[in-house]
């Protein structure tokens, strides 16, 4: 069967920018399915001048088993027929199609060590060449809008099927080296974020169209279902309407992230920072050295007469699965009469083993579609039973294959070595350091990697030190790679995620939830660094289901 390099082009079908090239790839895959060709394309490449070409002005290269090569230039849109042949305007400059093709063939031939057998095709799916004799190109090498269904047949005629030869191996090695066959994920990252935001943002659209009074909405949504988009939409709408919203969550990194995105005019806080702010507003400084400090703060706030400045028109609770009933009562006391309240939660991300908070009389909305995580991740989590309810994969991306690296349990140096290897794998796949996050299965106190300033001489780490400045802002080590615990990284995501220090004696409920949280942080690529015993248990679970 034909092999298309690089893979992942189907996931680009939603972009539009390379739609015509992707349509051609789909045609070639379907109509050359039984032919042992190697097909190279440039859809993943980011090249300002050459668009999505694979080499020079060539959009596709097809290699036959005997090493013979067919280069295809695809020209979409309108062409000019002149005395000098077919001309295409690129960025306002006319280019002669014949010269482009010949120049590219000459360039490939010069770089190849030996005699390279090359043929060519001009593919114009939108244009009908009126006078092929004046095109400057042999009419037999032109496929225009009148005969574009013949593309696959012409390729077969130009590249007869023969037994595979040594020349085939030599040519494919040459192309791999020459074309640097490595997709540029950065060309997909922005699109992945936009696409996932647009898809999961659907929850923010239709959930806010619901009408009932009083407005008390409980959203039970899986990871990547759009809960954050809904929270931000509700928060922003309140600001636009001249109202005061309150957003409260459990995780400090999530609160900091939301605060950077949300418009000014409301309050964003974790439950604990909200309690701290209340005490300081009463000219009291919490004694964090006391083991009962939090219960004392909770009792103080629960019994207090709240002033108007502590009353809000809209209250949004995120990470509701991590809240207690006492916390629920404290936060909802801050909601004005007639105000709106939204409670967002995901039982599969309950890492603290708390009972779900009862919300009698609230309308409940379930959303079990994950729009963020590549489908392979959702499928793997389903195969190990990490979700209570079946989760539907809604991402347009399959994602790269999940890569697994193992180490003997207890061997910290082996774990660090495999984590370094995981970074190399992500960089080798084309991700930049700013696109990579390291997430530890362990909490900060028990993690080996989160205590380090650097993973290696080449990879410094940016991680939370456990300390705060005078203004309550968390202090981070300075480094190029973000490193967080699975507890702190909950609610965030990264294009490429390295989930490391995965180790457990038993694949119990807590281990499954931590796997669910950590793995669903990846938007495009996931590398699992796990102990051998953890890997065996996961594989056993998969085979048993």
Give the model's pLDDT for residue 245. Answer: 97
At CA 312, angle to CA 307 and CA 314, rounded to 5? 165
- Percentages helix, strand, coil for the chain (3-state, rounded to 5) are 35, 25, 40
Give the model's pLDDT for residue 57. Answer: 64
Give the model's pLDDT for residue 286. Answer: 78
Check if the beta carbon of residue 384 is closer than 8 Å to that of residue 235. no
Give the DSSP H or E segment for 463: none
Q: Are strands 267-270 and 369-370 parallel, antiparallel or unpaired?
A: unpaired
Could you tell me which residues are beta bridge partners of residue 226? none
Q: Going from the N-terminus, what domains does the chain have, and what CATH number goes with each? A: 3-184 (no CATH), 188-370 (3.40.50.300), 393-544 (3.40.50.300)
Low-confidence ranges of the chain (pLDDT < 50): 13-17, 44-52, 181-184, 186-187
Strands lying side by side in the sheet with 245-249: 267-270, 245-249, 312-317, 335-345, 216-221, 363-367
Check if the beta carbon of residue 407 is closer than 8 Å to that of residue 430. no
List of residues 6+ apart from 297 with CB closer than 8 A: 275, 276, 278, 279, 286
How far apart (Å, rounded) are the C-alpha atoms in residues 407 and 334? 50
Give the model's pLDDT for residue 485. Answer: 95
Q: For the segment 283-312, what is each residue's pLDDT rounded down to a tens digit?
A: 888 777 778 877 888 888 888 889 999 999
Could you tell me which residues are beta bridge partners of residue 482? 437, 462
The dihedral formed by the CA atoms of 25, 26, 28 and 30, expressed in degrees to the nearest 10? 160
In order, the DSSP letters of 4-32 are: EESS-GGGGTTSSTTHHHHHHHHHHHHHT
Quick one: tokens of 392? Answer: 């539907």
How far apart (Å, rounded) are the C-alpha atoms in residues 545 and 540? 9
List of residues 6+ apart from 473 with CB closer than 8 A: none
């Amino acid at each position: 069967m034909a092999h298309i390099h690089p893979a992942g082009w189907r996931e680009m079908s939603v972009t539009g920018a390379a739609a015509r090239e992707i349509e051609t790839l789909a045609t070639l895959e379907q109509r050359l399915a039984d032919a042992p060709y190697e097909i190279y394309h440039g859809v993943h490449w980011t090249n300002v001048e050459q668009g999505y070409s694979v080499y020079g002005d060539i959009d596709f290269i097809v290699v036959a088993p005997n090493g013979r090569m067919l280069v295809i230039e695809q020209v979409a849109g309108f062409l000019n027929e002149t005395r000098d042949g077919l001309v295409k305007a690129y960025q306002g400059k006319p280019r002669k199609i014949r010269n482009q093709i010949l120049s590219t063939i000459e360039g490939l031939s010069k770089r190849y060590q030996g005699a390279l057998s090359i043929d060519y095709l001009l593919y114009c799916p939108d244009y009908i060449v009126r006078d092929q004799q004046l095109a400057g190109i042999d009419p037999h090498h032109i496929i225009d809008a009148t005969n574009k269904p013949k593309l696959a047949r012409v390729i077969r005629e130009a590249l007869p099927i023969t037994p595979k030869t040594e020349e085939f191996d030599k040519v494919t090695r040459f192309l791999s080296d020459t074309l640097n066959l490595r997709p540029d994920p950065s060309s997909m990252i922005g699109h992945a974020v936009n696409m996932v935001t647009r898809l999961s943002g659907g929850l923010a659209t239709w959930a806010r169209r619901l009408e009932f009074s009083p407005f008390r909405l409980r959203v039970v949504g899986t990871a990547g279902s759009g809960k954050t988009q809904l929270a931000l939409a509700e928060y922003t709408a309140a600001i636009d309407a001249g109202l005061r919203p309150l957003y409260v969550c459990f995780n400090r990194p999530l609160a900091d992230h939301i605060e950077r995105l949300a418009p000014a005019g409301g309050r964003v806080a974790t439950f604990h920072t909200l309690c701290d702010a209340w005490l300081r507003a009463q000219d009291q400084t919490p004694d964090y050295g006391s083991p009962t400090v939090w219960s004392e703060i909770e009792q103080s706030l629960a019994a207090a007469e709240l002033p108007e400045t502590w009353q809000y028109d809209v209250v949004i609770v995120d990470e509701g699965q991590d809240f207690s009933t006492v916390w629920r009562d404290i936060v909802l006391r801050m909601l004005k009469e007639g105000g709106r309240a939204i409670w967002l939660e995901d039982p599969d991300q309950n890492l603290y083993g708390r009972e779900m908070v009862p919300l009698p009389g609230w309308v409940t909305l379930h959303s079990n579609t994950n729009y963020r995580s590549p489908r392979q991740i959702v499928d793997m989590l389903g195969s190990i039973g990490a979700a209570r309810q079946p989760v539907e994969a809604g991402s347009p991306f399959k994602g790269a294959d999940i890569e697994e690296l193992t180490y003997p349990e207890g061997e910290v140096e082996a774990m660090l070595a495999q984590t370094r290897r995981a970074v190399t794998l992500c960089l080798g796949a084309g991700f930049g350091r700013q696109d990579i996050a390291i997430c530890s299965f362990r909490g900060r106190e028990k993690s080996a990697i989160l205590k380090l300033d650097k993973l290696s001489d080449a990879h410094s780490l940016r991680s939370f030190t456990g300390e705060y400045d005078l203004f309550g802002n968390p202090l981070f080590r300075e480094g190029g790679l973000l490193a967080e615990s699975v507890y702190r990284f909950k609610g965030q995501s990264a294009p490429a995620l390295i989930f490391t220090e995965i180790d457990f004696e038993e694949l119990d409920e807590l281990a499954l939830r931590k796997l669910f949280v950590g793995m669903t942080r990846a938007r495009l690529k996931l590398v699992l660094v796990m102990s051998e015993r953890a890997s065996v248990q996961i594989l056993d679970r998969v085979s048993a289901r």
